[in-house]
Chains A and B, each alone.
Chain A
């Protein structure tokens, strides 16, 4: 429990002066305001926090009561709840980005009808954020193994995958506001909220989790309106034919950047966590909801105005057959770095996988067999140690370059501005080359932690349970007698490294007059370009 002074310092920690942008007030005032003054909050802090907590308890108390009397979250499938530990802090960030996006649109789009829609959406997004935070709180109080539910929000910036999620959802409020609206309303909400909030709701229910469906369905009931906002925004933009080339490029790019993170995430949640399985895997749902409904119906109606299927859609469809499995494998191999546990894979689950994704076992089966042999700390090994080479991280999407599958890589390394940059795919490289300044400065996970020992990472990132010793993450959801501790991790002698800095002579990208990049070819070298 932090002291009052600590709590108060934490409140002030959200204030900082950014070095990378000059602050231009949107509504300047004629008054002079000093930077430091007497803090009105300090006197409040003691009563404030307890008072608000009590109000929350009262407001949500009814909900808690019903849940605890009907189906208790502590009875839900353990593996499924681990998936929620992983996902909820990421989704919460998406809601935050979505709210910011609305504020930008309200400011930018001078059209009363559209603006009214954006304002309502801003309120929805704030509501969703609160609902999801509450869900996290509910699980932190009631789940059979709550460790991690209380930590995800804190460590998501330090986690390989959650960090990439932030890069993905930054697209909701970075760049041109209309491009942000496309990323959020047209792609995020129209293509992906069905898989996220409808399909996962069904999986939750199948796994005895009765808290999530109520929250998710309440959220999803707002999404139809947000989709309408997206459609109205698109139709407005398309009514000016001059916008089309720009729009198509933004659309292509936005689709890929949502796909590249969201598809592996949802497919991992859907296909890997929880023993209760639907009769369809994520890939099949994606074909129905994203390829048939979103492209076929929604984008189809805008085709007469010139809008085309996103450029990288075919590449995405091809990649999606395996990318969820590859992401799951990498996330499992790196399990001690996370704030959730990996459920062991049962023979029934493997059979389901093979039925849903014929050929799965040949590529991934062996890994999961081996993974289950390394559950016990006495094995003194994590799968990450078995990797002959650590993957690079992609400068554009911030995920490890492991896709589409382990025996088939589309990774490439380039030099630009005196640094090496890896890309996981053709699309990520092209997107980088369109706007290098947008991605160049991204600090990737392995750059951030280069040279840190696994033990130090786990301790400084607060990835330990209340005993200060046992890891939150575990490679199983079994009973508590086989739990890995920080001492087990220390024995591994594992160090996080950033392998890309050692790559020599990667092909070079050079800037063209229009600011985009191309690969430097011999021809260009010859002409001295």
Chain B
């Protein structure tokens, strides 16, 4: 057991060697802000003031510069000695911290499951009288896989003005727990437990243009943002790059085209393995980004999708002038894999 002291509250709790600091805090009925619990969303970032931790699992949401400056994700960190942590960046007040985990889960029901491509499903969940779930475009929920206690993170893909339902866009992973339920079992009317909303990804107010990059199911939060931006009459120019393996892996393209009618939006679908009919951009999404503009210095970047794509897009955009602070992302790290490491 090690002592973990939390500043600025000056309180200490114990944490086992095989326990993440986040798990220890919650066990001790103290609250630290979290989201995916799997190193993907960056919600649980804190600063180490003293002591050392071991980071054994996925740490993707932490850019190397922050890691070097002593930031850790408490959901992915195990202490190897007594530690002092500063949770100032979480914007927690003392009451929230002492109240423990107040995250509640809500009962929702499946309204529909629609295949958007061979491995992408749109899952619509409807609120029960249990209460609605107000969210900000870019946030995600944790869904408990029915029949298990396992939770999986999915981002809202609909606009935040919808108060009666949430829409998720889910990639079906072979051998995935939630994926299996979604393809084999889920049926309209089925009850589902949902907690959230989580995550700090949101369109930040700024004078700059927006460049959005999505890979696979990573379009979900960006779609939600676009719907909200359109509703607010956004005038900032937006470039959306959507990368897919083949043209058959692209989806909701008509919905995006409809949004482009109201928004200053340039939509660039990018296909890695084009067939003879494909007339659009080809290659990796980063190739298209590079070809589109020499300089992205007047833009803020929003990235969503697999970690590899995010890494590559972030490096390219930063090299082309986006300030590292203005790159916002959610990495869709998968739970099963990282938990298995």
> Residues of A at under 8 Å CB distance from B?
287-288, 291-292, 295-296, 299-300, 303, 309, 313-314, 317
Q: Which residues of A contact B104 (CB under 8 A)?
A: none
Partner of B207, one of A288, A300, A313: A313
B205 and A299 within 8 A (CB): yes
Query: Closest residue to B234 on the A side, CB-wise?
Result: A308
Where chain A touches its partner, the secondary structure class is helix
Indicate with 1 or 0, residue by residue over B10-43, a CB within 8 angstroms of chain A CB atoms: 0000000000000000000000000000000000
Interface residues of B in 70-113 (CB under 8 A from A): none
Answer whether residue B295 sits at the interface, using C-beta atoms and an 8 A cutoff: no
A296 and B207 within 8 A (CB): no
Q: Which residues of A contact B325 (CB under 8 A)?
A: 288, 292
Partner of B205, one of A287, A288, A303, A317: A303
B323 and A300 within 8 A (CB): no
Interface residues of B in 198-220 (CB under 8 A from A): 204-208
Given contacts A287-B323, A288-B325, A292-B325, contact A317 B207 (CB under 8 A): yes
In whole angstroms, how far apart are the Cα atoms of A39 and B162 in the complex? 73
Query: Closest residue to A312 on the B side, CB-wise?
Result: B207
Query: Closest residue to A303 on the B side, CB-wise?
Result: B205
In whole angstroms, how far apart are the Cα atoms of A128 and B323 in the complex? 36
**Number of A-B residue pairs having CB atoms within 8 Å of each other in the complex:** 26
Q: Which residues of A contact B323 (CB under 8 A)?
A: 287
19 A-B pairs (CB sep. < 8 Å): A287-B323, A288-B325, A291-B206, A291-B208, A292-B204, A292-B325, A292-B326, A295-B205, A295-B206, A296-B204, A296-B206, A300-B204, A300-B205, A309-B206, A309-B207, A313-B207, A314-B207, A314-B208, A317-B207
Distance in angstroms from A271 CB to nearest chain B CB is 19
> Residues of B at under 8 Å CB distance from A?
204-208, 323, 325-326
Q: Which residues of B contact A300 (CB under 8 A)?
A: 204-205
Query: Closest residue to A294 on the B side, CB-wise?
Result: B205
Query: Closest residue to A296 on the B side, CB-wise?
Result: B204
Q: Which residues of B contact A314 (CB under 8 A)?
A: 207-208
Q: Which residues of B contact A313 (CB under 8 A)?
A: 207
In whole angstroms, how far apart are the Cα atoms of A301 and B326 in the complex? 17
Q: Which residues of B contact A295 (CB under 8 A)?
A: 205-207
In whole angstroms, how far apart are the Cα atoms of A153 and B325 in the complex? 41
Query: Closest residue to A317 on the B side, CB-wise?
Result: B207
Given A287-B323, A309-B206, A309-B207, 4 other A-B residues pairs in contact with their CB atoms under 8 A: A295-B206, A299-B205, A300-B204, A314-B207
Q: Which residues of B contact A292 (CB under 8 A)?
A: 204, 206, 325-326
Distance in angstroms from B285 CB to nearest chain A CB is 26
Q: Which residues of A contact B204 (CB under 8 A)?
A: 292, 296, 300
A-B complex: 6 closest residue pairs judged by Cβ atoms? A300-B205, A314-B207, A313-B207, A296-B204, A303-B205, A295-B205
In whole angstroms, how far apart are the Cα atoms of A204 and B207 in the complex? 31
Distance in angstroms from B296 CB to nearest chain A CB is 15
Q: Which residues of A contact B326 (CB under 8 A)?
A: 292
Point out which of A288, A291, A296, A314 has the most chain B C-beta atoms below 10 A from its C-beta: A291
Q: Which residues of A contact B208 (CB under 8 A)?
A: 291, 314
In whole angstroms, how far apart are the Cα atoms of A233 and B323 in the complex? 32
Query: Closest residue to B205 on the A side, CB-wise?
Result: A300
Q: Which residues of B contact A317 (CB under 8 A)?
A: 207
Distance in angstroms from B45 CB to nearest chain A CB is 16
Query: Closest residue to A318 on the B side, CB-wise?
Result: B298
Q: Which residues of B contact A299 (CB under 8 A)?
A: 205
In whole angstroms, how far apart are the Cα atoms of A89 and B306 in the complex? 56
Distance in angstroms from B163 CB to nearest chain A CB is 15
Query: Closest residue to B233 on the A side, CB-wise?
Result: A308
Query: Closest residue to A292 on the B side, CB-wise?
Result: B325
In whole angstroms, how far apart are the Cα atoms of A252 and B127 in the complex? 40
Distance in angstroms from A441 CB to nearest chain B CB is 33
Distance in angstroms from A9 CB to nearest chain B CB is 52
Distance in angstroms from B42 CB to nearest chain A CB is 16
